[in-house]
Structure 1
């Protein structure tokens, strides 16, 4: 079932809640510039295995409200906390992809992991999405600036190009169109604003605040969140486990959905 949670005056977040009677809860946070529908191939399997799967659309994306402001990691983490409180979630698992992983890490630091028993990071865009003087990984800032410019000048073309860099495997035209249409649901300005946060924000100081068991899943062919980012996360997060996926790019939740679902289930229990 779907419903809305107010996270700020005149800002409501869409929530998709599957198998709500189950007590083993996974809260999913999607990546840029998608929506909770990115996890369709988890939501179609994990509830049958005994999980309550909750997906949110970040502000500015999917079916959520699209305010002009509020796209920093802090504000987006605050939105997660509002949803957790509104739903009364306690002892849940947090699973997040790409920039969703960055927001989940900020949530863990900003709120001392409130309510979270286990953390799953899928191709997380952290601890820094861009290269820095002491972190020679990730994308060049100029590459990110080009994405922002393309968003403002020809967003459909940018999203079309993104579709074919998102996946390592040849996904075929029907799935590519599904992914493209999902990303079009976002506002152009929110798409650009979150990319600015990806470009500018860092999470190195947040990692020591993660005190729960953490599973890191990473496609070795990922050209968006580069594989060295996963290694840095593994090094920086105590009690973490890194699993490489050898037939995936950034879209690991589809490209190796069976392996991803199995690993999440084994990890969460």
Structure 2
């Protein structure tokens, strides 16, 4: 949390490096970093605290709609192993693994992301 409080710009730059698996242009990195800086500092800290402190596994059973779990196998932010718990906890779920993606799979594998999302929505 100290990094969010006292080194926010540097922490967000480091976070962006972990977010994507593919090579990023300098312009994209700058844009993504700007998104993080535009977010409320308070909200960013509270979100990070919730991610750290909340255990939502018992809430998964309350999800009772078809659920596609998209997850990058190279995710450094939320390990792929967490997918198993989500899939087991959500009754009507299935996993769509992204072999060459980190957390930012929507960018790392855009074509696959879009086609899998549309395939899921058409069901």
Q: TM-score range by the shorter chain?
A: over 0.9
* Partner Cα separation in structure 2 for residue 195 and residue 206 of structure 1: 19
Alignment partner for residue 172 of structure 1, among 25, 36, 59? 25
Alignment partner for residue 208 of structure 1, among 27, 51, 61? 61
Q: Gaps spanning 5+ residues in structure 2: where?
A: none
Kindly report which structure 2 residues correspond to 1:58-207, keeping only aligned pairs within 5 A, or say none.
148-207=1-60
Alignment partner for residue 233 of structure 1, among 86, 90, 98? 86
* Partner Cα separation in structure 2 for residue 239 and residue 231 of structure 1: 13
TM-score (norm 1): 0.44
* Partner Cα separation in structure 1 for residue 31 and residue 7 of structure 2: 19
Root-mean-square deviation over aligned CA pairs:
0.9
- SS at structure 2 position matched to 1:243: strand
Q: Flag the structure with higher helix content.
A: 2
Query: 1:218 Cα deviation (Å)?
Result: 0.6
TM-score (norm 2): 0.95
Matched, 1:220 2:69: no
Query: 1:170 Cα deviation (Å)?
Result: 1.2
Q: Gaps spanning 5+ residues in structure 1: where?
A: 1-147
Query: 1:191 Cα deviation (Å)?
Result: 1.0
Provide the aligned length of Structure 1 versus Structure 2.
122
Structure 1 runs of 4+ off > 6 angstroms? none
Which structure's CA Rg is the greater one? 1
* Partner Cα separation in structure 2 for residue 170 and residue 230 of structure 1: 25
